[in-house]
Amino acid sequence: MNLKERDRKHLWHPLTQHKSHPDHLPIVKAEGVWLFDDEGNQYIDGISSWYTCMYGHCNPKIINAVTEQLQALDQVVFSGFTHEPAVELSEKLMKILPSNMDKIFFSDNGSTSVDVAIKMALQYYFNKGEKRNKVIALENAFHGDTFGAMSVSGLSVYNGPFEDFLLGIDRIDVPDTGNWEEVQKNFRELLDKNEVAAFIYEPLVQGAASMHMYAAEHLEVLITMAREANVLTIADEVMTGFGKTGKNFASDYIDIKPDIICLSKSLTAGVAPMALTCCSLEVYHAFYDDDMSKGFFHGHTYSANPLACTAAIAGIDLLNSKQIQDSIERINRRHLNFERHIASHPKVKSTRVKGVILAVDLNVEMDRYGKLRDQLYAFFKEQGVILRPLGNTVYTLPPYIISDKELDQIYKVIEKCLEII
């Protein structure tokens, strides 16, 4: 049996209806921006494998560091123990995180980082003797697939069967110039009930909601309103973190910083699963007590895995390098040039760019996981580029190391799809 046939026997893939999509593309090697299948075909990874491999696949600096660490310490429980990679990672993070961040809590993935944040916020008020059991989230948000993260997410395509089992969440519309006054009014009414523990948001870019972008100015007002109402703010930077919006974190575009930040995905450059929930000293102090029950009783077996921490350290070093920072600016300029070139095309409904993120809305009706979307996905693969349309939105979020020639190949296939859609 070939790899596809062997895969079909036992594996259950994410976001897949296996009856209509039984086969999956076997990838046997990755290098730089390229993925290679079992038949020798190669593909540009135009979405950095879900926004993780931002420094390219199998980056030598990261692989060498992890290989060296593997020979010294592979894993140790993080309850009652510590190690150099975790400590060094915390020190490097504090140099690039928003200045009010002081503590980091380890978990395994983006969803768990959000669950940790929600639990932190709810227990923060519980420890203070205040009854606050509500969380405010944005419409069309996506924060992950575990139950806490699902609760604050708003995409029913993912959450439909579980809606009766989720936490109680209040929602407000994503602000724009047309609804801004109404959003502020609704937000104020929810805050005035004094039941809200936290306001959670994806800063500036809602990834799963077709890379929807909104203004930093509006978000800053909402964060300020929450702060004035003594409500904790949670920035879910799982997708936006580590340079993708053009700054280290999307929260860097806003003067008022969140109380809690969730990080994962490109944190470890795609090499190993790991997530962080970072918080201010004020949040941490609500758990710092002689009473054991006020501690934060949440733990993951692989918390602060030394190999994942080592990959993250190497990734931060790369992010801070002039080469990567220059490349982020270069990709942004190229995206903006392509946006200007393509925006007036009759098959283009709208376009947007933030940092290394480029999104193009096609002027056609398309289900999020419908037949036409699947045909587009297959077309891109046939052209040697991996792009995963979100309904009628085609987007790219390429690795920072991508060359101009490789970027041109992505632009070419996006433009080519407009002629056949």
For domain 63-320, give its CATH number from 3.30.420.10, 3.30.413.10, 3.40.50.720, 3.40.640.10. Answer: 3.40.640.10
* Dist CA 104 CA 120 (whole Å): 12
- Residue 161's pLDDT is 82
Q: Compute CA distances 84 → 102, 233, 347, whole Å.
A: 18, 31, 53
Question: Could you state, in order of their start, the residue ranges of all structural domains in the chain?
Answer: 3-58+324-420, 63-320
* Dist CA 395 CA 323 (whole Å): 24
Q: Compute CA distances 21 → 7, 8, 24, 246, 371, whole Å.
A: 12, 10, 8, 36, 11
Question: pLDDT digit of tens for each residue in the chain (421 aa)?
Answer: 999 999 999 999 998 999 999 999 999 999 999 999 999 999 999 999 999 999 999 999 999 999 999 999 999 999 999 999 999 999 999 999 999 999 999 999 999 999 999 999 999 999 999 999 999 999 999 999 999 998 999 866 677 788 888 888 999 999 999 999 999 999 999 999 999 999 999 999 999 999 999 999 999 999 999 999 999 999 999 999 999 999 999 999 999 999 999 999 999 999 999 999 999 999 999 999 999 999 999 999 999 999 999 999 999 999 999 999 999 999 999 999 999 999 999 999 999 999 999 999 999 987 777 788 899 999 999 999 999 999 899 999 999 999 999 999 999 999 999 998 8
Q: 189 φ, ψ to 5°?
A: -65, -40
Q: What sign results for the dihedral spanned by CA atoms 178, 181, 186, 188?
A: positive
- Topology classification of domain 3-58+324-420: Aspartate Aminotransferase, domain 1 (3.90.1150)
Cα 252 → chain centroid: 16
Query: HSE-up of 110 (CA within 13 Å, CB side)?
Result: 24
- 107 has which bridge partners? 275
